[in-house]
Chains A and B, each alone.
Chain A
């Protein structure tokens, strides 16, 4: 969900974020009751059709799947060894459908709409002490800062390599940089009128 919104005019883009998340939840749950390779293959085809309706080019969809492939292959191999090829294919199909569908939601939903939905869903829990705007901000910050932290980690690692250092020693300066970032971020949220 790292802010991968793909701009297009489509019924999928126009659908409310809450509806898309509900479908994702329902399909994600329902998948575990489907035990036929053919049926899961059909579901995969429907998901592919949804990508076409959403006007998301195949290369964009496949690019989002690429980071998950090593994990998917590892899961399938583990299932193949432990339980046999039928379960391995079923598990592989389920993971593929879930990831592809989650990516489709991300590609067709602005983060702000996602956050508004999270806040709306949590609003009834306010009497229990839940602060929906804080949870919404947490979601936004996670999406915003994962690439920033990765960039920082790359910089610190490069600096260590330049000095001939190897191993995990880069973690300490990275932690210090991250804490400084968090401190500055807290001030920025306060300065910009974020939730208390």
Chain B
């Protein structure tokens, strides 16, 4: 469970989030909002990539201000652009990157990498340079590289924004099949509609929060009025 307690976040003089309190307990939660509404900032607060200017963010009782490393092991983060998330030169090496810091033996790591390559249809690209993959394959690799470390929560920051239709469907199927708790920041209202709960952010505050149909209607009404 992720809890936000009166969270404020500022970039210098620019207030991005103003007093957000939420308890995120549902298996799948989507966060929607216009550009600049604070969605990505909120997402980055959930695994301690950003710390709140004031207030508190807790993941399973751990505070992001005190237990950043432990929280980042629990909360996997998938960025919008896989090109910044893929760190190692080849596909297999990138999958192995996150495992290196988990204290697994070389054999165990190799087995996990092979299993992940097969599971995500990347086995033909094992030793291929990551920059030569297609956009969809890069996003799959980015997600696989996070899943391989067995996080209990996953935060996706606009995972389908840069994808074409077939790859958007593929990534959507992958995300909807996950067993971990998923927090999804997205502009894709079809994807948001698959969640258990949708939170609408507007100018750094919660504008609507509830079942997908109700929240999405409120969001659409807000920007068509």
Contacts and interface: CB of A to CB of B under 8 A. Distances in A.
A147 B190 CA distance: 35
Interface in A1-16: 2-5, 7
A144 B88 contact: yes
Interface in B51-72: 69, 72
Nearest to A182: B84
A192 B79 contact: no
Q: Which of A141, A144, A148, A151 has the most CB of B within 10 A?
A: A144
Give the contact-size bracket for chain A.
20 to 34
B184 interface: no
A187 interface: yes
A111 B79 CA distance: 24
Contact of A190 (B72, B90, B96, B146): B72
Contacts of A112: 88, 93, 96
B131 A184 contact: no
B90 A5 contact: yes
Nearest to A187: B49
Contact of B72 (A7, A144, A193): A193
B19 interface: no
B89 interface: yes
Contacts of B88: 111-112, 140, 144
A144 B97 contact: no
Contacts of B101: 193-194
Interface in A136-169: 137, 140-141, 143-144, 147-148, 151
B187 interface: no
B87 A3 contact: no
B145 A192 contact: yes
Contact of A111 (B69, B89, B98, B145): B89
A187 B44 contact: yes
A181 interface: yes
Contacts of B83: 148, 181
Contacts of A5: 90, 127
A191 B72 contact: yes
Nearest to A144: B89
B86 interface: yes
A192 B129 contact: no
Nearest to B80: A184
A194 to B, nearest CB: 7
Contacts of A111: 88-90, 93
A185 interface: yes
Given A144-B130, A188-B79, A194 B87 contact: yes
A184 B81 CA distance: 9
| Nearest 9 interchain pairs by C-beta | A3-B89, A184-B84, A191-B77, A3-B129, A193-B101, A147-B131, A143-B89, A144-B89, A188-B85
28 contacts: A3-B89, A3-B90, A3-B130, A5-B90, A5-B127, A7-B127, A111-B89, A111-B93, A112-B93, A140-B88, A140-B93, A144-B87, A144-B88, A148-B83, A181-B84, A187-B49, A188-B79, A188-B84, A188-B85, A188-B87, A190-B49, A191-B76, A192-B87, A192-B97, A192-B146, A193-B69, A193-B72, A194-B87
